[in-house]
Chain A
Amino acid sequence: MKQLEKETDPKILQALLASRNDYTVEDALENEMIINMGPQHPATHGVLRLLLRLDGERIIGCVPELGYLHRGYEKMAENMSYYEYIPHTDRLDYISPMANNVAWVLAVEKLAGIEAPKRAQYIRMMIAELARIASHLVAIGSFAMDVGALTVFLWTLREREKILDIWDILCGARFTNSYTRIGGVANDAQPEALAKAKWFIDQFEPYLAEVEQLLNTNRIFIERVDGVGAISKEDAIDLGFCGPNLRACGVEFDLRRNAPYLCYNEIDFNIPTYTEGDCLARYFLRIDECRESAKIVKQILDKIPQGPVHADMPKKVLPQKDEVYTKMEELIHDFMIVNFGINPPVGEIYHAIEGSKGELGFYLVSKGEGHPWKCKIRSPSFNNIQCLPKLVIGHLISDVVAIIGSIDPIMGEADK
C-alpha cells in the first residue's frame, strides 16, 4: 500500500482508505492490498470499475467508480425535441429497450396532457412485459455464467431470441427499436406478431422449468450464492435499493401496484417477495417475475381491444406518413410539430415506471418550448450500485462477482 501508482487518482484512493469498515480481521501479518477490478473485466456487467481493499481474500473496503460510459444524455435532451429523444431512450437500459421508450413517452404525455387510446396502452403494456422477461432472462443467464454454470446462459439467450423475433415483426428492429410515439405507438400490432407472442408464452413455461432444473438443486450453485450479499430491509430502503432487489428483502413495493400507470389495474397479477435478501433470493425472485410477466402477457392478449393506436390530437401527435404525403392539413401539422415541437405547457412533472431493474423515472421541466428545459433520468442501476459496498464487505473476492451478477446493473443507464 506504500507504493501508489501514478495514474491512480489520489482522491478516489483516499475515499477507499477512509471508507467505513465495520469488518476487522484478526491477523498477525499485515496482508492488506488494493486491487483494481477494472473497467474491462469479464464479470462486471459493462464498464464498472471497482477499487477493492483486501485483507488476504476478505474485502474490507470497496469504492465503485462510474463514468466510463457517460454519454451526456441529460445535456442532449435539452437540445433536441421530445420526439427526437425517443431513440436515445432506447440505449439507456439496453437489455429491455421497449420499457424505456414507454417510460419516456408516458412522461411526455403526462406533461403535455395527451392520452393514448386503449389499444395503444395495451400494446405498450405487452411490450413492456416482454422487455421485462427478456431482461430477466439475460440477468439469470449472466448471473449463472459468472458463477460458473455456462449452459444456462445459452439456453436463456435462445429464449430471448424468440422475443426479439416478435419485436422484429412488430416494428422492424430486433433491438433498440423506438417503437412508441407520443400519443400511441408507431404502427398497429400485426396479427402475426400477436400470434407469435401467444405461441411464445404458451411454450415458455417448460423451458423456464428446464433452467430451474439445472440450478435449483445444484449443490455448487446453492453453496456459492446462499447467504452471500445479504441486506436487511431498513438498510435497503435507506440506501435506495429498488426493483427486484428490494422485493427480495421483504418490501412489497412495485410501481405497477402502488402507482398504476397504463392499464395495470385491470390485469390480475401477484407481486412475489422473499425475505432473506441474499443472492439466492434475488435469483428466485427473477424466475418468479418471469412467470408473472408471462401471465400478464397472456391476459393482455385475451383482453386487447380493437381501435386506433394514435391519439386524436392533431396539434401534438405526429400524423401518419401516407396522410402527410396526400393531405394538406396533415402536411402542415407535420411541418409544425417537427420544426417547432409539441410545446407542452410550462411546468414540471415526474413520472416513473417499474422497469426491470427498478424505478425508472423521468423528471421533466418545461418552459413551453419544443425541447425540455431540463430532463433528469432517475435510473435504477445508479441507486443499486450505490448499495454495492455495503453488500460486499466481509465476503471473498469470488463473491463480488456473484453479488454484482445478482444486482444486475446496466451501465448504460447508471452512467447516462
Chain B
Amino acid sequence: MGLEAYIKDTGFLTTQVNAIIAWARKSSVWPMPMGISCCAIEMMAAGDPKYDIARFGSEVMRFTPRQCDLMIVAGTVTYKMAPVVRKIYDQMPEPKWVIAMGACTSSGGMYRSYSVVQGIDQFLPVDIYLAGCPPRPDNLLNALMKIQEKIGKTKASQFHNVPLQKEGINLPELNVIQKN
C-alpha cells in the first residue's frame, strides 16, 4: 500500500508491474492462525512435515496480526469470543483475506445452542468457506491455493489507503508520512 497503489491501469508496463506485485503477494501469504478449537489442530497438522504448508510460502504463522494478510478462523466462535476475533481482524493491515475453516465458522456447525454464533459472516467478511468437521489438511491447502488464485487476479491499485471508520481508533494516514 505504498507507491504502487497510485499506478493507473494504462499501458503495457503497468500491467506487468501489477502482475509482478500480485505474484509476490500470492506466493508469500502469511496466515494469522486464529486457532480456537479442534480445527486449529488440523491447521497445525497442515504445518507438519506430512502436509507441508511451507511449500506454499505460508509457514510463517505469525501470531501478531500486524504482519499477516490471511486470517484463518479455525474453531467455534462463541458470542463471548466474537469481539476478540473482530478486534484482531481490524488490527490487520490491508490487503487481507479471511478463510472460514470448518463447519462451525461457516454456519455454526453441529452446535445449535445459546452461545455459539451461527456463522462468522455475521460480523466478518469471508472469502472462502471450508467444509469439514474438521476439514482435512489437504482441504486447507486447497483453500489456500484458491486464495492464491484470487490474489493473483488482483490489481495493485485496488488497495488504496482506506481510513478506518471506527470511533475510538485513529490510524495515521499513510499519505501524511509519504509527503515528508
Direct contact of A and B (CB under 8 A): yes
User: Is A257 engaged at the interface, CB distance under 8 Å to the other chain?
Assistant: no
A91, B76: Cα distance in complex, Å: 11
Question: If A72-B116, A412-B38 touch, does A154 touch B48 (CB 8 Å cutoff)?
Answer: yes
Stretch at the interface among A26-34, A41-49, A349-357, A372-380: A41-49
Complex interface: chain B residues within 8 A of A76 (CB): 111-113
Residues of chain A within 8 A of B118, CB atoms compared: none
Contacting residues, chain A, for B75 (C-beta < 8 A): 69
CB distance from B76 to the nearest CB of A (A): 6
Q: How far is it, in angstroms, between the C-alpha of A269 and the C-alpha of B34 when the chains are bound? A: 40
Interface SS, B side: loop
User: Judging by beta carbons under 8 Å apart, are A87 and B63 in contact?
Assistant: no
Q: A369 — which chain B residues lie within 8 A by C-beta?
A: none
Asked whether A70 is an interface residue with its Cβ less than 8 Å from the other chain, the reply is yes
Judge whether A161 and B45 touch: CB under 8 Å. Answer: yes
Partner among B41, B113, B136 whose Cβ is within 8 Å of the Cβ of A71: B113
Question: Complex formed: what's the CA distance from A354 to B46 in Å?
Answer: 29
> CB within 8 Å of B: which of A37-77?
38-42, 46-47, 67-72, 75-76
Check: B31 CB closer than 8 A to any chain A CB. Answer: no
A72-B36 in contact given A40-B88, A157-B45, A175-B42 (Cβ < 8 Å): no
- Please provide the chain B residues from 69 to 84 with a CB less than 8 Å away from any CB of chain A in the complex: 75-76, 78, 80-81, 84
CB distance from B64 to the nearest CB of A (A): 9
Report the Cα distance A161→B48, complex, angstroms: 9
Distance between Cα atoms of A72 and B75 in the complex (Å): 15
Q: Are B48 and A158 in contact (CB-based, < 8 A)? A: yes
B37 to chain A, nearest CB (A): 5
Contact of A403 with B by CB under 8 A: no
Q: Is A303 an interface residue (CB 8 A)?
A: no
A367 part of interface (Cβ distance < 8 Å): no
User: Does A20 make an interface contact (CB < 8 A)?
Assistant: no
Q: Is the interface of A mostly helix, strand, loop or mixed?
A: loop
Q: How far, in whole Å, are A245 and B40 apart by their CA atoms in the complex? A: 24
For chain B, residues 1 to 47, give those with C-beta under 8 angstroms from any C-beta of chain A: 34-38, 40-42, 44-45
Chain A residues with Cβ under 8 A from B48's Cβ? 154, 157-158, 160-161
Contacts A40-B88, A41-B63, A157-B49 given; does A71 touch B111 at CB 8 Å: yes
Residue A197 is within 8 A (CB to CB) of chain B in the complex: no
Collect the chain A residues with CB atoms within 8 Å of residue B85's CB.
40
Which positions in B face A, CB cutoff 8 Å?
34-38, 40-42, 44-45, 48-50, 63, 75-76, 78, 80-81, 84-85, 88, 110-116, 133-134, 136
Q: A38-B84, A176-B38, A412-B38 are in contact. List 13 more A-B contacts (CB 8 A).
A: A39-B81, A39-B84, A47-B81, A68-B78, A69-B75, A71-B76, A71-B111, A71-B116, A87-B110, A91-B37, A154-B48, A157-B45, A161-B45
